[in-house]
Amino acid sequence: MSLTHCDDKGAAQMVDVSAKDNTVREAHASGWIKMSTAALDAIENNTLKKGDALATARIAGIQAAKRCSDLIPLCHHLALSKVSVVFNLNRSAGHIEIHSYCKLRGQTGVEMEALTTVTVAALTLYDMCKAVDNTMLIGGVCLQEKTGGRSGIYRRAEMSS
């Protein structure tokens, strides 16, 4: 399999997608941030000095999807039609699950935008909570599903949170 982001000499290049059809493309990604009970309590009770952590992280994740091409050098700038971020507090695991969904009609996929959404949302939660818990751990960031385009449907075999 050849790498599409490298030319025949191995130099980085942006893929030409101009010949691809415009199709509806969707991607779901997920990850988590593990934290102390005190930090989870502060988020749930909205008592953090910096404010509402989940609302701030949701906005940060959406903004990150919109700016993905500024962060990842060879990503195309995309006209996203939908970005959503959902958080699930999982007390038994001691973490917050982060789920993102990105959608567009275009010539290239939105996997990187969905992954960036989750990552920046997790980093924002870290920033919001670091005064309460500086031992937090971010992990499990992965693509769960993607649809659209020539490669068709991808679903992660083992759904993780």
The domain locations on the chain are 23-146
Sign of the Cα torsion 67, 137, 98, 145 reads positive
- pLDDT confidence of residue 6: 66
Catalytic residue numbers, as ranges: 127
Q: How far apart are CA 138 and CA 60, in angstroms?
A: 16
**Amino acid (1-letter code) at residue 157:** A
CATH superfamily membership of 23-146: Molybdopterin cofactor biosynthesis C (MoaC) domain (3.30.70.640)
Q: Is the pTM of this model over 0.75?
A: yes
- Altogether, the residues listed in the chain come to a count of 161
Angle at 135 between CA 72 and CA 144, to 5 degrees: 45
- pLDDT confidence of residue 2: 56
**Spans of the chain below 70 pLDDT:** 1-6, 10, 159-161
- pLDDT confidence of residue 112: 95
